[in-house]
Amino acid sequence: MKTVKRMFEHQLWADRQLLDAVRNSGGGSPEALRLFRHLAIAEQVWIIRLNGESSTHLQLWADDADVDDIEALIASNEQQYTAYLAALTEEQLDEDLTYASQNGTVFRTPIRDILTHVALHGQYHRGQINRILRETAGEPQALDFILFARNN
């Protein structure tokens, strides 16, 4: 349980660090904003599913991303994941969650695997956004877990 919670502490920290970098780059390129919105919406999708609700009303990809909207979504996700993880027990990590994908296909997956996926998915897209920042004269952020661990 400690490892899962630590992964999410890192995720929330990394999202905030990257958001600051995107904002400081002048609001980010459309491609960076599109990826960042996707990352934040995907995190929202999973916390909705983890709470037993349907996420099919959410659109994972959109071209109308705005840095202020992303910031609000990240803040909401942080609050929801913090509350969810605070109530989660070690035993519940291995329970299966039944949920529907965005197209309605039903799956059953252990909660531990879902949480691992969310953390890894975010890391993947944060790397892509950092690459875009570098290519567009922004300032990419060092977001490695070990950097987070050394200071937190």
Supply 11's token pair: 């995720």
- Residue with token string 């990419």: 140
Angle at 113 (CA atoms; ends 75, 101), nearest 5 degrees: 70
Indicate the pLDDT class of residue 14, thresholds 50, 70 and 90: very high
> According to the model, what pLDDT value does residue 103 have?
92
**Cα-Cα-Cα-Cα dihedral sign, residues 116, 121, 122, 127:** positive
Residue 28 predicted with pLDDT over 80: no
CATH number of the domain where residue 6 is located: 1.20.120.450
Supply 53's token pair: 């609700």
Q: Which letter, b or e, does each residue of 9-35 get, where b requires 16 or more Cβ atoms within 10 Å of its Cβ?
A: bbbbbbbebbbebbeebeebbebbbbb
Q: Which of 19-28, 31-40, 66-75 has the lowest mean pLDDT?
A: 19-28
CB atoms within 10 A of CB 148: 18
Count structural domains, the chain: 1
Instruction: Quote the CA–CA distance of 73 and 71 in Å, as a whole number.
Output: 5
The SS3 of residue 152 is coil
Distance of CA 41 to the CA centre of its chain: 8
* Percent of the chain scoring above 90 in pLDDT: 91
Give the pLDDT mean for 66-88. Answer: 96
27: left (phi over 0), alpha (psi -120 to 50) or beta: left
Give me the domain span that covers residue 106.
2-151
pTM to 2 decimals? 0.94
